[in-house]
Amino acid sequence: MKNVKLTLEYDGSNYHGWQSQNNSLAVQDVVYKAVFKLTGENVTINGSSRTDAGVHAYGLCANFITNSSIPPERFSFAMNSVLPSDIVVVKSEEVSLDFHARFNSKGKKYRYMIYNSTFPSALLRERACHEVRNLDESKMQEAAMKFLGTHDFSSFMAAGSVVKSPVRTIHSVEVTRDGNIINFEVLGNGFLYNMVRIMAGTLIEVGYGRIKVAEVENIILSKDRKRAGKTAPAHGLYLVKVYY
Amino acid sequence: MKNVKLTLEYDGSNYHGWQSQNNSLAVQDVVYKAVFKLTGENVTINGSSRTDAGVHAYGLCANFITNSSIPPERFSFAMNSVLPSDIVVVKSEEVSLDFHARFNSKGKKYRYMIYNSTFPSALLRERACHEVRNLDESKMQEAAMKFLGTHDFSSFMAAGSVVKSPVRTIHSVEVTRDGNIINFEVLGNGFLYNMVRIMAGTLIEVGYGRIKVAEVENIILSKDRKRAGKTAPAHGLYLVKVYY
């Protein structure tokens, strides 16, 4: 009996997110089927994160317990031979039997990509959020710095979510521009439902000057979802890395 | 009567290249239909380049003569409202009546993108050519320098092509690596059929050490297509810019 950890890259465009649901295809279903095809086993695939429909990943992690004779580090090769081309196992490895991709996660890094130009991009149409008017990325960086540290992020949680605690710690933030592309990267110990997309939506408002940098602190303190910006579209979001 | 120049970005994945053909959808057809929808005119769309099926563009140029009352610089907005999302008019402008997107071109810049990693990329699967083993990008850059200047590029032209002259001038080349991504950029006064893809295929052989850097000069001099590398796949190629 072995515990296999997978690191997955996927294009979320064709899936209803990571988590299996009724009547829609999730990345988890496809990964499960690939393992079943190779091992004949009905394994439980534990994912590190429940990404929404359309969200992409460079490094979502998952794990499953197997009795298969396939060496853990060879599962990547075996699975990539049966997976569709929009889901790739970047790495597979053996981990201790008590490892759980979700519960053992110590931190996550997300990226939100904005394509800032008069017209949308044909090549990035499913990879970045399109914003028409010129965004001030230096103001966005200043505002992002306000997220740093440990806060009650209730203002940045989808309305109606139920959590034990809305307190999270943000370790680093970075807003960079390369031509028409603005990337917001954020690393934290964990994220509430829609938290990065609401952060991105708020930074977009700051970039347009509709929310002042100084106001972001008050938005956090208010614990009021209505004070923050809109939830930015899913297709601009990437789960970059999970830390253990 | 006005001559309108368009600068087009497109994702080539769903098209049989730029040029209209029987029984397959080309980018030119879609652009033609958009102009027809807006003006009711049967215009001729002149394209700067005949990109192959799967090839992408950031800045293919085209032009057409119209009697429409739509101001030339507003065609971009009008056309983007009727074009599918994988074709975008980045810019539209009035040019002199004798301007022809193909014949007036003074130079073109292409990019060839390679994803160099054990496994293919889910997110770049239709955007870059996948090469499994580690490529030596510094050797590739050295080899690319051999293309500089004016040469008979018969060795880098699809077999059976008919041209007035196989002589072209390459002004600049650059091979850069960013993590798993290797980009080859080349700017020249013009390119033979499949020339950039054969250059890329040859550089890949150099990167693997199967063709020596010094050998590239002899390959050019031989004027023998069989001496150069394979034609690298279309989906790694981008027409970046056309110069006038």
In this predicted model, what pLDDT tens digit does every residue of A3-62 receive, in sequence order? 999 999 999 999 999 999 888 999 999 999 999 999 999 999 999 999 999 999 999 999
pTM here is 0.94
Q: What is the pLDDT of residues A100-117, one digit of tens each?
A: 999 999 999 999 999 999
Q: What are A54's strand-pairing partners? A: none
Distance of CA A133 to the CA centre of its chain: 26
By C-alpha distance, the chain B residue nearest A121 is B88
By C-alpha distance, the chain B residue nearest A92 is B119
The answer, for B11 touching chain A at a CB cutoff of 8 Å, is: yes
Q: What is the pLDDT of residues B160-211, one digit of tens each?
A: 888 999 999 999 999 999 999 999 999 999 999 999 999 999 999 999 999 9
Domain B2-95 has CATH 3.40.1350.10: no
pLDDT of A199 strictly over 90: yes
What positions of A carry a catalytic annotation?
52
Cβ neighbour number for residue B89 with a 10 Å cutoff: 22
Distance of CA B44 to the CA centre of its chain: 21
By C-alpha distance, the chain B residue nearest A55 is B123
Domain ranges of chain B: 2-95, 111-238
For B86, the closest of A11, A56, A125 (CB atoms) is A125
User: What is the CATH topology of the domain spanning A107-243?
Assistant: Alpha-Beta Plaits (3.30.70)
Task: Please say whether the beta carbons of A190 and A196 come within 8 A.
Answer: no
Instruction: Name the DSSP class of A135.
Output: P
A55, A119, A132: best to mutate for the B interface, most B CBs within 10 A: A119
Contact: B123, A89; criterion CB under 8 Å: no
Q: Whole-number mean pLDDT of chain A?
A: 97
In chain A, residues 24-83 whose CB comes closer than 8 Å to chain B: 56, 58, 76, 80
For B121, the closest of A76, A88, A120 (CB atoms) is A88
Q: Are strands B237-243 and B56-66 parallel, antiparallel or unpaired?
A: parallel
Query: How far is it, in rounded angstroms, from Cα B9 to Cα B59?
Result: 5
Query: How far is it, in rounded angstroms, from Cα B212 to Cα B139?
Result: 9
User: What is the CATH topology of the domain spanning B111-238?
Assistant: Alpha-Beta Plaits (3.30.70)
What mean pLDDT do residues A227-237 have? 97
For B85, the closest of A86, A88, A125 (CB atoms) is A125
Give which of B141, B147, B153 is closest to B216, Cα–Cα: B147
